[in-house]
A and B are shown apart, each in its own frame.
Chain A
């Protein structure tokens, strides 16, 4: 006969207000197999736990049921208490009579009867519980960081400085991300590149960082501590080991008028190019779509048409026949830091729920630009060498209108969220503009100024004090009228309809996750929201973890974030990873599935239903080495204990430890007994 102890908690008044806890304890005390039953005001308190521990010792209990709150709340607490008293922790279980009973009922008598049933179920289950031991899995102390913007750079440096190796994957030819495109940063107006480029060089020179630029993650196998990543290194057509970054090839390239991605389309680049002078690595890439030689090959010409770069290169680094390479890396943890892209107001949108702004000309009015383009105009390294000149005719604009919340906070255009950084960068833009064009007037149409952050509100106030005119309202329409752009708006504070003649309009467009983030998230088995932002494991308490153990998130791929927030998040993710790597092994709960090899028929229904890829195939051979059958086997490191395989197995050969059929069915039978 089992000797089970039942401990009924009042939870202050949370439970005892609706459930007669003394009656529950008494009813359970009369149940066969229950050796001890009592109630107490706070079981989770120190005296409450001592009560349990004393009973385990005195009554020689072989199972414990605590009738209290949800196991989410205190299962760990009580299992630890039981373990300290010498009982295997997995012989201790909780019956939830708070969330599932006292909180949701009013009728005291009925609630008490239900509570008794709930506790009886768990008592019957515990009668079939087996002692279990935690599972230990080894940890590869090496991290993968996906994305080489400021978040990825920070995470990589922190982990590498902590003594662990890092593989940093960046899809563009250079690391640096959007921050390298910015002119100056809020709220201090310090130069973006001046603070960023030293960190980029540090990444490149760090002995423990392996930088894979112009590369993308192709596939992922494994589980926390033991991932195997396949990375596609896209062909640069330049041999990284031979190139010394002299730049002669880019000077000689005859294709000079290609819009530069780095200059947000405002400047030009060559077909063999380095995105910007401070690029890391400083190794060019050939853009196949625009290279004469590759265009010639695509047309099937037998003789190569151009080849000037190869003839120019003194080191023989140009290799037109280079192909994509797949490399595999073994890592123990992953940081996703893929950053953002900007919403465009055009007619053609990347996602069906997005709508462009027809009332703003669908982006076809020249001199209507977005925030990143303004950054390039204001940047000393930009196409105008830092002079504010409008793209259409190169004139210095005397009236610049800035529109906030374009795309953002606009459900009709598909995005409901606030992009968070625009209020700040628009204030910055007005200052940069007015500092450079002294007789210029900056006008801002805003809905609310959201400037929470250290020194942030002071910054937006400064922009207003320095002469930017802030009008509260959305603009209804913009159209070209000769040399100017007519901006039709309304100032809700004065109640005036306002029509402005603008020389240039800058749109603070929404921050959105990078295109293709969904397929990366699926590769990594992490969840994402309706917009594609990666979901954190808990919005408050686990902000940098994802729902897949060992995969972390940092920066603007999780939500719109500014530089300080992205850096803080990256450092948080790095410290989480370093704490993970401080263990030689991981221990995890033993709630994983096990296969009975004697009865498994090898139908592999379990393999098909397993979401986590935890089912492996195992050959069973006789002593002579002849194959008898192939059966399923569970990879304990990968199994998440969901139980889907158990529900599916036709021959009842696979069972989840802690939730075996015997346990679950005895619990159910207890209600009908």
Chain B
């Protein structure tokens, strides 16, 4: 698995010395069974397959704090992305339902409007995931602070955005 990741991303898992600075700054590490440094460790141990039985790699937000702070330029964010690619290609693994529903809703919003329409995103996500009631209590406060617009605003270059989407779909890079 480590070799496969190196071929895909150019990053050698062996260059990680397990200082944990990635996990120290990771906003999602509390939710993950395998934080970024443990993901690197499993690759070093040749037990990367274990990551496909778990949600951790799908929880990464790709904020790249780990990558920015890594002393060894290991780029854990790219490694996690690579693992997702492998999971999808090789095992036909899909991300856990809620996560893939969120991504699909997010991308649909971008495709439609060229930018995020939060209200539409939430609605769409809830329908797709079936998770109808979580976090709804925070909606009124967000609405009052102007964080939830009721109608979408489309960007000028929406045609270009759609061309990008089409090109990606054609090259089979759907995620």
Residues of A at under 8 Å CB distance from B?
359, 405, 409-413, 447, 472-477, 488-492, 495, 497-498
A476 neighbours in B (Cβ, 8 Å): 21-22, 24-25, 65, 69
The answer to whether B65 and A447 touch across the interface, beta carbons within 8 angstroms, is no
What is the CA–CA distance of A491 and B18 in the complex, to the nearest angstrom? 11
Q: Please, what's the 1-or-0 string for B15-43, where 1 marks a CB less than 8 Å from any CB in chain A?
A: 00111111111100110000101100000
Interface residues in B82-130 by Cβ distance below 8 A to A read none
Contact A412 B72 (CB under 8 A): yes
A413: chain B residues within 8 A (beta carbon): 71
Q: Which residue of A lies closest to B20 (CB)?
A: A473
Instruction: State whether B23 touches A497 (Cβ < 8 A).
Output: yes
Query: From B33, which residue of chain A is reached at the shortest CB distance?
Result: A495
By CB atoms of chain A within 10 A, which of B22, B26, B69 has the most? B69
Check: B6 CB closer than 8 A to any chain A CB: no
B73 at the interface (CB under 8 A from A): yes
Output the residue of B24, B37, B65, B70 with the most chain A CB within 10 A.
B24
* Distance (whole angstroms) from the CB of A479 to the closest CB of chain B: 12
Q: Smallest CB–CB gap between B146 and chain A, Å?
A: 28
3 tightest A-B CB contacts, nearest first: A476-B25, A473-B20, A476-B24
Q: Would you list 26 pairs from A and B whose C-beta atoms are within 8 A, ordered by A residue?
A: A405-B19, A409-B17, A409-B71, A411-B71, A411-B72, A411-B73, A412-B71, A412-B72, A412-B73, A473-B21, A474-B20, A474-B21, A476-B21, A476-B24, A476-B65, A476-B69, A477-B24, A477-B69, A488-B25, A489-B24, A490-B24, A490-B37, A492-B20, A492-B23, A495-B38, A497-B23
Contacts of B23 in A (CB 8 A): 473, 490, 492, 497
Residues of B within 8 A of A447 (CB): 17, 19
Give the complex CA separation of A498 and B22 in angstroms.
13
- Beta-carbon contact of B24 and A473 below 8 Å: yes
CB-CB under 8 A from A495, the residues of chain B are 35, 38
* Given pairs A447-B19, A476-B25, 8 additional interface contacts (CB within 8 A): A359-B25, A412-B70, A473-B19, A474-B19, A476-B69, A492-B37, A497-B23, A497-B29
B110 to chain A, nearest CB (A): 30
CA A472 to CA B26, docked complex, whole Å: 16
CA distance A411 to B20 in the complex (A): 15
Q: CA of A411 to CA of B71 in the docked complex: distance in angstroms?
A: 6
A495 nearest CB across to chain B (Å): 8
Most buried by B among A359, A476, A488, A489: A476
Q: Which residues of A contact B73 (CB under 8 A)?
A: 411-412
Q: Whole-angstrom distance from the CB of B28 to the nearest CB of chain A?
A: 10
Question: Which of B26, B35, B71 makes the CB contact (< 8 A) with A474?
Answer: B71
Q: Are B20 and A490 in contact (CB under 8 A)?
A: yes
Q: Are A359 and B69 in contact (CB under 8 A)?
A: yes
Residues of B near A490 (CB, < 8 A) are 20-21, 23-24, 29, 35, 37
| Minimal Cβ-Cβ distance residue in A for B21 | A474
A43 to B16 Cα, complex, angstroms:
50
Tell me which residues across on chain A come within 8 A of B30, comparing CB atoms: 497
Contact of A492 among B18, B26, B65, B69 (CB under 8 A): B18
Consensus secondary structure, chain B interface? loop
Q: Which residues of A contact B21 (CB under 8 A)?
A: 473-476, 490
Question: Which residues from A are CB-within-8-Å of B26?
Answer: 497
B74 to A: closest C-beta gap in Å: 10
Cβ distance A406 to chain B, nearest Cβ, rounded Å? 11
Contacts of B18 in A (CB 8 A): 492
Minimum CB–CB distance for B38 against chain A, Å: 8
- Complex alpha-carbon distance, A158 and B108, angstroms: 79
User: How distant is the Cα of A492 from the Cα of B25 in the complex, in angstroms?
Assistant: 13
Residue of A359, A412, A475, A490 with most partner-chain B CB within 10 A? A490
In the assembled complex, the CB of B29 is this many whole angstroms from the nearest CB of chain A, namely 5
Most chain-A Cβ atoms within 10 A of its Cβ — which of B23, B29, B70?
A: B23
| A413 CA to B35 CA, complexed, in Å | 23
Q: Please, which residues of chain A bring their CB within 8 A of the CB of B24?
A: 473-477, 488-490, 497-498
User: A409 to chain B: which residues have CB within 8 Å?
Assistant: 17, 71
Neighbouring A residues of B17 by C-beta, 8 Å:
409, 447
Residues of A within 8 A of B65 (CB): 476
Bound CA span A444–B17, Å: 18
Closest to A498 in B: B24
**Given A492-B18, A497-B23, does the pair A410, B29 have CB atoms closer than 8 Å?**
no
Q: Contacts of A492 on B, CB cut-off 8 Å?
A: 18-20, 23, 37
Nearest-neighbor residue (CB-CB) of A359 within chain B: B69
Whether A477 touches B25, Cβ cut-off 8 Å, given contacts A411-B73, A412-B73, A497-B30, is yes
Which residue of A has the minimal Cβ distance to B29? Answer: A497
Name the residue of chain A whose CB is nearest to the CB of B38. Answer: A495
Kindly list chain B residues whose C-beta atoms are within 8 Å of the C-beta of A359. Answer: 25, 69
How far does the alpha carbon of A498 sit from the alpha carbon of B35 in the complex, in Å?
Answer: 14
Alpha-carbon distance A475/B22, docked complex (angstroms):
9
A293 to B156: give the CA distance in the assembly, Å: 67
Quote the shortest CB–CB distance from B151 to chain A (angstroms): 38
Chain A contacts of B22 at CB under 8 A? 476
Query: How distant is the Cα of A489 from the Cα of B35 in the complex, in angstroms?
Result: 13
A491 to B35, CA, bound (A): 12
Q: How many angstroms between the C-alpha atoms of A497 and B17 in the bound complex?
A: 18
Q: Give bound CA distance, A447 to B29, whole Å.
A: 19
What CA separation (Å) do A473 and B18 show in the bound complex?
A: 8
Name, among B20, B26, B65, the residue most crowded by chain A CB atoms within 10 Å (CB to CB): B20
Query: Within the assembled complex, what's the spacing in Å between the Cα atoms of A618 and B39?
Result: 72
Chain B residues contacting A477 (CB-CB under 8 Å) are: 24-25, 69
Name, among B21, B25, B30, the residue most crowded by chain A CB atoms within 10 Å (CB to CB): B21
CB A403 to nearest CB in B, in angstroms, measures 11
Kindly provide the distance from the CB of B72 to the nearest chain A CB, expressed in whole angstroms.
Answer: 6
Contacts of A475 in B (CB 8 A): 21, 24
B10–chain A nearest beta-carbon distance, Å: 16
| Residue of B25, B38, B65 with highest tally of chain A CB at under 10 A | B25
Most chain B C-beta atoms within 10 Å of own C-beta, residue among A405, A447, A497: A497
Find the A residue at minimum CB distance from B23: A490
Q: A474-B19, A490-B20 are in contact. Are A410 and B25 (CB under 8 A)?
A: no
Most chain B Cβ neighbours within 10 Å, of A474, A491, A492, A497:
A474
A475 vs B69: C-alpha distance when bound (angstroms): 10
B17 nearest CB across to chain A (Å):
7
State A405–B71 Cα separation when bound (angstroms).
Answer: 11
Residues of A within 8 A of B71 (CB): 409-413, 474
CB-based nearest A residue for B68: A359
Query: Which A residues are in CB contact (< 8 Å) with B29?
Result: 490, 497
Q: How far is the CB of B65 from chain A (nearest CB, A)?
A: 7
A160 CA to B69 CA, complexed, in Å: 51
Complex Cα gap A472–B72 (Å): 17
| B20 x A472 contact (CB < 8 A) | yes
**What is the chain B residue whose CB lies nearest that of A492?**
B20
Question: Which residues of B in the span 32-61 have a Cβ within 8 Å of any Cβ on A?
Answer: 35, 37-38
In the assembled complex, the Cα of A488 lies from the Cα of B24 at a distance in Å of 6
Provide the bound-state CA to CA distance between A492 and B70, in Å.
15
| A475 and B38 alpha carbons, distance in the complex (Å) | 16
Closest to B41 in A: A492
Q: Which residue of B lies closest to A448 (CB)?
A: B17
CB distance from A291 to the nearest CB of B (A): 44
B20 cross-chain contacts in A, Cβ below 8 A: 472-474, 489-492
Residues in A whose Cβ lies below 8 Å from that of B25: 359, 476-477, 488
Measured in the bound complex, the distance between the Cα atoms of B22 and A411 in whole Å is 15
Residue on B nearest A447 in the bound complex, by CB: B19
A444 to chain B: closest CB distance in Å? 14
From residue A493, how far is it (CB to closest CB) to chain B in Å?
9
**Measured between alpha carbons, how far is A359 from B22 in the docked complex, in Å?**
12
